[in-house]
Each structure stands twice: as structure tokens, then as C-alpha cells.
A and B are shown apart, each in its own frame.
Chain A
């Protein structure tokens, strides 16, 4: 399965009836088993683009389509910036929500639920309500919920931005381990350059006013163990390249805010 984003443009009409061009001329694809990361300064349209790909927002122009050999509807898994766990459902019920909606049998739900809860390290918290979890645990439950439907495309919008630095580093490692096991095509949004270089097969650098693709950078490093000493200089070269691309924009964004 391949996902194609073709000539996507998005205009918002703000409260004063002004038209705001949020995205312009967006073209890229996500190949099978590819991990694509979107980076860009705040307000460049990352979430907007992710929502369009996720079918939660219609583009003003252009389209997003899945290319596949069979005819079934693609399954999506999304990890939201706001986490969005259902407060009235236990961890288990949250994780198996998508399966429930797909009419998966109770027995299979129990098995898959257990499997993915274990994968994100939440075993023992199946019956807990989201309120009883820490920030990192909530986000892991959110990831398990997205993985449990075994999606054709996994979408993640800054899933770790609310976490502290240590937890984030651990979660990034865990995400890579999980990804290595599941090999899901993934579109991942972040404003953290290191995170982008650490996770991505390809980094798409977005720029502002209007949001457009500045450059697409393939990261030619082995997927696992990029934090090793021997890749340090390459890692930094990629980071610097991306930083140079968005620096000006980021400074502008700060002035406006």
C-alpha cells in the first residue's frame, strides 16, 4: 500500500472572514513500510496536513489517495497531539475501541488488546481509567490504540511533545522497536529536529506562509541505533541542514507570537 498526497492546498476562512492559505502545492508519497516525518515551525500547517491525510479535514484543492492491490478500505490509526483517550473507557476498552468498531470478536479483541498493551508496557493497567495514568502512560495507551487496528497507515501528531525529555527519549526508542516489529507505513509530525532525524526514513521540511514543502531529505542511516557514536557527525549534518532550512521561519514565527 502506498499513500499519495497530490497537489494539496488548504485555505481557512478565519473569524474575520479573511482567507488564510495554510497549505500550498503539497506533493509527496509514503511508500510501503516507510516512516516519513514532517517537520516545520509552529503554525506551518503540519497538523492541518496530517488531518487531511487522516480524512478529518477536506483539502481545498488536490487529493490524497491510497494505492493498493486489493479493493478494501484502508485502515488508519492516529495518535493525536491531544491524546484523545476516551475518559469513560478503561485502558483495555480504549485500546480495543477500533477493533470493536470493526466488529472483531470478543475473543480476538481480548488477545489483541493484551498483545498491544504489553507491547507499550502497560500490562497491569488494563482496567485503569485514563485519569489514573501519567502523561507518558496515556500517550502509550494512545499508541496501543492506534497499533491495535493494525493500520495501513499510522499517523502521529507530535505524540511526545507533552512529555519530559527523559520519557521522550525512552518513548522514541520504544517507538522504533515497535515500528521495527510492525513495519507500518507512518506519517509522523514533530517540530523537534533531532527526533525527526532519529526516526525518519525521509524528512519533509515544511515552511510557512503559506505552508509548503521546502525540501525532502532522505536519511541514509541504519534505522536502528542512530544515536551511536559512529553516526554522530552524519546525524549532526542532517540536523544542521534541517535547522538551516527552518531557522528563518522559526524566528519569524516567534516574532509574530
Chain B
């Protein structure tokens, strides 16, 4: 009898669906923190340039217990959520209007696209002139920064709704209002969410920039303040809070997305 060799076919795309245990990411972060601590303890870099994680935590605790952090955080939260909400609501509304009306599209889209690329922070001096130096200019600049990406995503979401779905709705007797509510809105929702997530990053960036330029309180102002005093531990505590803020923001949006878009 002839000898046969056996070659078992292996899944060559198995790497695409590799399972990674959850603790790996925790390990990663812990590892970095340990390394960081070690570098500081061994005095490889002076503590002024890179304070040790433990030092940051200790001084950060001081910020918390004195109530200083909370005061700054509340000022920041107020601005970012106020600005984000206003920008998102206007962005979605205007995006829907531009998406539905060919007239509005023809008139306003060129204007939108010419304002969109301006780095919004460049408008801060002008906005301060308009609104004075209270909370308004900060909220306005964040709202402006959120407005454009949300608008543009909403607009393209509406434009890209599958026309055969609209046809289907119309043939089954849907009115215009129904078509908008039951077809175009849900159809555009995933794209709208992409815009909202993009805007979250912009909002944080603008928050910090605005607070550094013109604010008494706020995480951005606090970070700048301790930078000027060369107290890097408290500076880093502020940066840490910003990172947590961004993370929470994103998680919140992800949670909302899963709630609102269960069919994906």
C-alpha cells in the first residue's frame, strides 16, 4: 500500500479572532505605572520634569480633600456639557434641515464648508469681544467646535440613507413625517453618532485651550496655574483628570449608542 501524508488545513485567518483575556490590559497599565515609578525612584529623571505616580496621587489627594479639584472640575463640567449639548443639538438640527431641503443645502453648505476648517480656538478673542469674559465665550467656543463635525456627519448620514428604504416606506403608505421619523432618522443615526464621538474629542481640546487662555477656574486653568508654579505633581493630577474625563465621555457615548442602535 502506498504511504499517504496528511495535511490538516488550518484556519489561516485565526489571528483575526484571537481571544485576549481581560486582565491583559490591566497588566499593561500596571506595568507602565511600575516602570514609571521605578524611573522616578532611581532618579533617572528629576521629579520636576516627571513626578512619580505615587507623588501625583498624594498631591492629587490634597487637591481633592481641599475641595480645589471639585471646584475646578465643576466649572469644567459645566462648560463642556453645556457647550457640547448646545453644539450637538444645533448640529443635528441644522444637519437634518440641510439634508432634507435642497434649497437650504444649496445656500448653506458652501458657507458651512468654508467655516469648518477654521481652528475654532482662533475665534476665541472675537467671541470674547462679543460675549464678554464670563462663561459664555467658553461655552460658545465648545459649542462651535462641536457644531461642525456633528452637522457634517448628520448631513451625510441623511444623504446616505438607502433610497430603496425610502421607496419601501412610501409604497407602504408612509407620510413625509413618517419617512423622516421612521426611516431617515434611524438610518442616519449611526453616522450621527460617529460625529458625536468625534466632537467629544474636539470639545475636550477646546475646553482646555479656552480655560488656559481665559479662565479663573477649570481643569485647564488649574493645570496652567500649577505649571507656572512648577508644581508638576498637581499639574499631572489635572492631566489625569482630563484623561478620565475623556474616557468617561467616550464610554457614555458608547453606552448611549448601544441603547439607541440595537440593530447593528
Contacts and interface: CB of A to CB of B under 8 A. Distances in A.
B is bound to A? yes
Interface of A: 54-56, 75-78, 80, 82, 84-89, 97-98, 101-102, 129-131, 145, 149
B173 A149 contact: yes
Main SS at interface, chain B: helix
A75 B173 contact: yes
B173 A78 contact: no
B173 A84 contact: no
Interface residues of B, number: 22
A82 B183 contact: no
Interface stretch (B49-57, B160-168, B242-250): B160-168
B130 interface: no
Task: List the 7 shortest-distance A-B pairs measured between CB atoms, nearest first.
Answer: A98-B172, A101-B173, A84-B168, A84-B164, A88-B186, A88-B263, A129-B263
B164 A80 contact: yes
Nearest to B165: A84
Nearest to A155: B171
B170 A56 contact: yes
Contacts of B186: 86, 88
A178 to B, nearest CB: 18
Interface in B19-74: none
Contacts of A149: 172-173
Given A78-B168, A87-B263, A101-B174, 20 more contacts: A54-B171, A55-B171, A75-B173, A76-B171, A78-B171, A80-B168, A82-B162, A82-B164, A84-B162, A86-B165, A88-B186, A88-B187, A88-B189, A88-B261, A89-B263, A97-B169, A101-B178, A102-B173, A130-B263, A131-B263
Contacts of B178: 101
A131 B174 CA distance: 23
Which one of A78, A82, A88, A97 has the highest number of Cβ atoms from chain B below 10 Å of its Cβ?
A88
B254 interface: no
Contacts of B262: 129
Nearest to A87: B263
Contacts of A76: 171
A139 to B, nearest CB: 13
Given A84-B162, A88-B186, A101 B172 contact: yes
A19 B172 CA distance: 31
Contacts of B183: 86
20 contacts: A56-B167, A56-B170, A56-B171, A75-B173, A76-B171, A77-B172, A78-B168, A82-B164, A84-B164, A84-B168, A86-B165, A86-B186, A88-B187, A88-B261, A88-B263, A97-B169, A97-B182, A101-B174, A131-B263, A145-B172
